[in-house]
Amino acid sequence: AQSVTQLGSHVSVSEGALVLLRCNYSSSVPPYLFWYVQYPNQGLQLLLKYTSAATLVKGINGFEAEFKKSETSFHLTKPSAHMSDAAEYFCAVSSGTYKYIFGTGTRLKVLA
């Protein structure tokens, strides 16, 4: 069985500060891992994905995530937060079939 845990339903950072959103997963098979972003009144948009190639994955808008098998983690980071990064972020895991398991989401607030 697969599962995803996102630590922190709300995270606040100052503009220009490091963004760190945490995601831990459980999977009995090699996972595909995804981060999606949801802006207000919009659907989910793919930020980045891990598919067993490089463990450090770079995505859009300056975000990146590192797959750490030993820690079963896939944390999302951005060196310098921008006001436009305020949104809800979802981590998801898939075994490569139809089934995607989503975390409960982390709402990022960026303070001026």
Partner 1 sequence: DADVTQTPRNRITKTGKRIMLECSQTKGHDRMYWYRQDPGLGLRLIYYSFDVKDINKGEISDGYSVSRQAQAKFSLSLESAIPNQTALYFCATSEPPGQSTGELFFGEGSRLTVL
Beta strand segments in the chain, E: 3-7, 10-14, 19-26, 32-38, 44-50, 56-58, 64-68, 73-78, 87-94, 100-102, 106-111
Q: What is the nearest approach in angstroms of partner 1 to the Cβ of residue 102? A: 4
Among 85, 94, 108, 110, the residue binding partner 1 under the rule CB under 8 A is 94
Among 29, 104, 109, 111, the residue binding partner 1 under the rule CB under 8 A is 104
Q: Are residues 89 and 36 in contact, defined by beta-carbon separation less than 8 angstroms?
A: yes
Place of tokens 């750490």: 68
From residue 10 to residue 49, the character string flagging contacts with partner 1 as x (rule: CB under 8 A) and all else as - is ----------------------x-x-x----xxxxxx--x
> Which one of the spans 23-31, 61-69, 79-87, 101-109 is the region binding partner 1 (CB under 8 A)?
101-109
How many other CB atoms sit within 10 Å of the CB of residue 41?
A: 5
Q: Which residues bind partner 1 (CB under 8 A)?
A: 9, 32, 34, 36, 41-46, 49, 51, 90, 92, 94, 96-100, 102-105
